[in-house]
Structure 1
Amino acid sequence: MMERGGGTEDGDASAILIPLHEARRERLDLPVAFERRELDLILRLYGRMVAANEWRDYAIDHLTDRAVFSVYRRASEVPLFQIVKDPKLARRQGAFAVIAAGGRILKRGHELARVLGIFDTGLKLVKA
């Protein structure tokens, strides 16, 4: 006769889902990368900001622990903003963050679209 509850005392213990692409990346020691949908959101924002004459150049870095999309006003300067994907922070603070030029975290969260929403508020660079 089968036990009620599926044979485990705590039914939630086996309910941890790990995305297959994350498990493969960790096993093969591949660098963290932006997924197609994430990159699409970022590049749409980049296009709007280029059209508004705010941003001029970008760089994408796929590192072993995080992926970084850096935005520049000019290629020879430090990045104005960095959009970071850090899978290690996914369960706690959220995998995505927008970081300003001085290293200050402007917004962090679990959903990239919501984190990128910070640029919809008319965020401008202020020169000191």
Structure 2
Amino acid sequence: MTLQGPTPVPQGPVPVRTAFDRRELSVILSVYGRMVAAGEWRDYGISCLHDMAVFSVFRRTAENPLYRIEKRPKLRLRQGMYSVVGIDGQILKRGGDLKTVLRVLERKLIRAVD
């Protein structure tokens, strides 16, 4: 019988996850707060994946997201790393500046008053 020590843990690089930083979350939550106050949105979810971060917006908790705000750093030199995706998967706006990309959502807040 031979005695073995503990199995060594692989010492590779730690998998990096993409996430929104504080400034980005501040901009997103500002728009989210206005839409909640208007009664349009009620819930959100944040996913930090390997290649992208997603802020999903829901009208009700049990539904599919109305909009997804995505951050894909690999696209920053091409189309821009931020995008807003609709419920059907269509990209509504894409660009390198988060505030500019989120303007597509603020248009939904503007209504005609009689």
Q: TM-score range by the shorter chain?
A: 0.7 to 0.9
Residue identity opposite 2:87 in structure 1: A
CA distance 1:41–1:48, change in 2 (3 Å): same
Residue identity opposite 1:30 in structure 2: V
CA distance in 2, matches of 1:81, 1:58: 10
User: How many residues get paired?
Assistant: 98
Q: Which residue of 1 aligns with 2:16?
A: 30
Q: Please list every run of at least 4 consecutive aligned residues from structure 1 whose deviation after the TM superposition is greater than 3 angstroms.
A: none
2:54 partner SS: strand
C-alpha displacement of 1:65:
0.4
Q: Paired residue for 2:64, among 45, 58, 78? A: 78
Residue identity opposite 2:26 in structure 1: D
1:76 partner SS: coil
* Structure 1: gaps spanning 5 or more residues: 1-26
1:38 partner SS: helix
Contact kept, 8 Å, 2:38 with 2:109, in 1: the verdict is no
1:45 aligns with 2:31: yes
C-alpha displacement of 1:50:
0.2
C-alpha displacement of 1:123:
6.1
CA distance in 1, matches of 2:53, 2:45: 11
2:105 partner SS: helix
Contact kept, 8 Å, 2:31 with 2:106, in 1: the verdict is no
Q: Paired residue for 1:55, among 35, 41, 49? A: 41
1:88 aligns with 2:100: no
Q: Paired residue for 1:112, among 85, 91, 98? A: 98
* Structure 2: gaps spanning 5 or more residues: 1-12
TM-align CA RMSD: 1.4
Q: Percent of counterpart pairs with the same letter?
A: 53
Q: Which residue of 1 aligns with 2:52?
A: 66
Q: Which residue of 1 aligns with 2:5?
A: none
